[in-house]
Every structure is written in structure tokens, then in C-alpha cells.
Amino acid sequence: MKTVILYSTPNCMACRAVARAFDKKGIVYDTINLEQHPDLIDQFKELGHMQAPIVTADGFNFSGYRPAKIEQLANMVFKNA
């Protein structure tokens, strides 16, 4: 599995919740602040993502705090480890 990326914004409760879930599950990830990369916001909107956080990993992606998707990602990460 390639890099898991968490795209977030400051003061985003859902972003912090996803980061905590990743930490708890041992998922290694990079964080990108969307306020520092506004060009990415338009790209994500075109893909249908309307809220932060946005998580991407090898073609797997989701937005918002979604425990089932986090679990699915954890299974993918550790299956391929």
C-alpha cells in the first residue's frame, strides 16, 4: 500500500477524529492542510468530496468521519503490510 494521506483543515473536529482513529489503529499517514493548498479543494469537489477530512490511499478514498471506511482502510493497510 502506498501512502495514506489525510487532507484536513484547521479546527476540524472530524479531521481530528480521523487522525485519532488512524493513530489508534496504527495507520501511518501524511497530513496535508487544505487551507495551504486551495487548488486541491476544487479538485476534490469535482470528485464529489464536499467536506473535510478527505482520505486517499491507492485509489481508495472517502470524506468525512466514517468509522466503517476507516476500518476498511486499516484492513487494506495491514493486509498488504
C-alpha cell at 75: 484492513
Low-confidence stretches of the chain (pLDDT < 70) are 1-2, 80-81
- What's this model's pTM, rounded to 2 decimal places? 0.91
Number of folded domains in the chain? 1
pLDDT at 63: 96
Q: Give yes or no for a contact between 34 and 55, defined as CB atoms under 8 angstroms apart.
A: no
Separation between Cα atoms, residue 37 and residue 47, nearest integer Å: 16
Distances (CA, A) of 13 to 16, 24, 49: 5, 16, 17
CA atoms within 13 A on the CB side of 53: 30
Domain at 30, CATH number: 3.40.30.10
Among 11, 68, 60, smallest CA distance to 34 is for 11
Domain residues for 43?
A: 4-65
